[in-house]
Amino acid sequence: MLVLRDHRFLLHDPGANHPECPARLQAVHEALDRARLPGLREEAPPLAPVEALTRVHGPELVQRLEATAGARSTRLDPDTVASEASWTCARLAAGAAMRAAAAVSSGEAGEALALVRPPGHHAEPDRAMGFCLLNNVAVAAEAAIRDYGVERVLILDMDVHHGNGTQRIFSRRGDVFFASSHRWPFYPGTGAADERGEGPGAGATLNLPLPADAGDDRLLDAWYRGLGPELLRFRPELILVSAGFDAWQGDPVGGLGVSLAGFRRLTALFREWALQFCHGRIAWVLEGGYDPEALAAAVLDLAQEAG
């Protein structure tokens, strides 16, 4: 497994007591360093080119984010704050997702894991929100189709919050299938089961809304029954996962009653689909997960089980 990591991600500072804090990723780094897993190859990510960002985001948003560079604190929405290093971190996060997609698309790596912050799946074409500045997985999916020779990308969003930004970016696209399990009703208020895409993208969105106490079995059943039949029709060539772990049963921000064992079962299912449909090509891009210890344990499990 190729792991994209960089100490500079720790420099994004949304402020004291913010749940999306550097300690989250620091805990992951420390867990991986202690484990010294033999199958991992670590690499520092590149900065995403601005032209790759403007494929999925409007130039006004990109310019607004760039203008935060060097500023001590810029509030972008009630929950989302940029610090002086956040623009660099956001470009690194998008660049890590792109590099992960490129590595698995080319066969250079069987799997890739982008350990990034800030997260990305709430970022819309024209708006940063929900702790997210740029939509990392969307930038990677667009690059896969335009640059890496991939015709159909499947995005699986396992974060407890609906990936409203990713859905909006690709809602009218038939070459990117977006599927999300999430707590409902919950932030950001989107992700109803009847949201299935529009125009050329009709049928290429699948939402799996679940109650707060869903638990492992109900989560797995929703994915298996909901997405399994769709895969036979769509037949993806690459899977990108918005790998949020805030569905964990004790998460201070989210929670869906999911255990660490439940995450292992879910990621095993995603890997099974990758083997069945796209020669194992799967890349994981970190999203939420706000208990540092649980996040580190979940990511370590993910890395240990890589083929």
Catalytic amino acids? 122
Q: Which long-range contacts (CB under 8 A, 24 or more apart) does 201-206 make?
A: 201/170, 201/171, 201/172, 201/173, 201/174, 201/176, 204/170, 204/173, 204/174, 204/176, 204/177, 204/178, 204/234, 205/167, 205/170, 205/171, 205/177, 205/178, 205/179, 206/177, 206/178, 206/179, 206/180, 206/230
CA-closest candidate to residue 93, choices 37, 47, 124, 54: 47
Q: Are 139 and 53 in contact (CB under 8 A)?
A: yes
In this structure, are residues 169 and 158 in contact, taking their beta carbons and an 8 Å threshold? no
User: What is d(CA 254, CA 144) in angstroms, rounded to the nearest whole number?
Assistant: 30
Within 10 angstroms of residue 304's Cβ, the number of other Cβ atoms is 14
As a whole number of angstroms, the distance between CA 228 and CA 94 comes to 29
Residue in 176, 219, 171 with CA at minimum distance from that of residue 196: 171
User: What does the block give as tokens for 164?
Assistant: 């409203």
